[in-house]
Amino acid sequence: MNHQKNFKRTKLACYTAYFTMSSIFCLPPLLFVTFREMYGISYTLLGTLVLINFCTQLLVDLIFSFFSKHFSIHTIVKTMPLITSLGFLIYAIVPALFPGYAYVGLAVGTVIFSVSAGLSEVLLSPIIAAIPSENPQRDMSALHSLYAFGVFTFVTVSTLFLKIFGTQNWIYLAIILGLFPILSSVLFFLSPMPDMNQAEGSSGAKPTTRKGFGIALCVACIFFGSCAENVMSNWISSYLESALQLDKTLGDILGVAMFAVLLGFARISYAKYGKNISAVLLGGMIGASVCYLVVSISSNMVVALAACILTGLFTSMLWPGTLIMMEENIPGVGVAAYALMAAGGDLGASVAPQLMGIVVDTVSASEFAARIAPVLQLSAEQIGMKAGMLISAIFPILGTILLLFIFQYFKKKS
């Protein structure tokens, strides 16, 4: 009885760790415009911070997927939240003490707390799976939905903080957010850890060429889905503030927070009632394509805002849904396949937001933007933002085409 109660505390530690991990992803995009104004950092370099974040996670994913038996998993899990706190501390203090080296501090802090995010992605789900439970699917669903609701909470709290105390005091906000993970670390140290299987490799079956090609198709699909989700999640705040000229507080609460709410709501809904993942994936890709096109060409603020928010709904199942599609069509895949899927998702989350930043900077500084801006009654930066969203529409469009091919491929295979 007491043992079960202790495992409940372990489960709570996992939930709080996953919840607080969301601050790693939601705070930086909220501050993109602030960083540009305070430190003169270009949108390309701001997009590079997102690239650094997910590339670091990608490296951690691969290392722990293939070499997990060489590490003390229980020790790492207990100290993992403290790594998050250290990253936030450096992220905040270096720009405060050395404004001339602000970007260096932001980059180093990003690397450190991204290591923690990667560890969370790799280790928290297996811990939840290893804890005895009457309904393990519900526990796993609850864990992953907490990310989206964590984004909603931290976006709301951060937005109100910046509104009340001013964006120039963002440093104190980062320090405060860095204190929350300490609670998870304390809970982990006070809780027993379940036995975990740290075996490497796959299920032992030798993969066939056809099976390998099927997995490659799923990796490509999760790449496009991740691109579609992460461009909007990372740039929605800057887009609403710069391109739509929406008040930052209103934009972050209506835009960023509601994007996260739809993301979490849709994932929980599918976990309880969902079926026919093929239709869900295809509808998500098509819907995301339409949303990006509307955001890029619409001159109506309400319509563009609605399209930004609805992107959260349409992209919600593109990552987890591709995993489900792989499991349904390629039974018996091993750890290596899941590592490749994580790599594909993290690669999309790295490349697409970075491309958005490059397009915004390039188009904003172009003669084309200078000529067309007066005609459209927009600034060159607004033209750049809309061009970035238009280019980003290519990811869900290609994802739609790929899905149609995948459906035919798996249909012939069966």
Question: Over the stretch 108-130, which tens digit does the pLDDT of each residue have?
Answer: 999 999 999 888 877 787 787 77
Q: pLDDT tier at 281 (50, 70, 90 boundaries)?
A: very high
Indicate whether 207 pLDDT > 80. Answer: no
253 versus 114: which is more confidently predicted? 114
Q: pLDDT tier at 174 (50, 70, 90 boundaries)?
A: very high
Indicate whether 203 pLDDT > 50. Answer: no
Q: pLDDT tier at 167 (50, 70, 90 boundaries)?
A: very high
Q: pLDDT tier at 335 (50, 70, 90 boundaries)?
A: low
| Cα–Cα dist 339/200, whole Å | 11
Average pLDDT score over the chain: 87
The predicted structure's pLDDT at residue 202: 43
182 versus 64: which is more confidently predicted? 182
Q: What is the largest CA-CA distance in the chain?
A: 73
Indicate whether 5 pLDDT > 60. Answer: no
H or E stretch including 235?
A: helix 209-238
Tell me the mean pLDDT in the region 333-354. 79
Question: Considering the chain, what percentage of its residues have pLDDT values greater than 70?
Answer: 91
Structural fold of domain 206-414: Growth Hormone; Chain: A; (1.20.1250)
Domain ranges of the chain: 1-200, 206-414
Tell me the mean pLDDT in the region 249-259. 86
Strand, coil or helix: 71: coil
**pTM, 2 dp:** 0.77
Indicate whether 325 pLDDT > 80. Answer: yes
Indicate whether 140 pLDDT > 50. Answer: yes
Indicate whether 75 pLDDT > 60. Answer: yes
Q: Which of 408, 65, 405, 389 is nearest to 221 (CA)?
A: 405
Give the Å distances, CA to CA, from 162 to 169, 178, 250, 297. 7, 16, 12, 30
Q: Which of 371, 344, 253 is nearest to 305 (CA)?
A: 253
The predicted structure's pLDDT at residue 208: 61
The predicted structure's pLDDT at residue 384: 94
The predicted structure's pLDDT at residue 68: 61
- The CATH number of domain 1-200, selected from 3.40.640.10, 1.20.1250.20, 3.40.50.2000, 1.10.10.350: 1.20.1250.20
Question: Considering the chain, what percentage of its residues have pLDDT values greater than 90?
Answer: 51
The two tokens of residue 53 are 């974040």
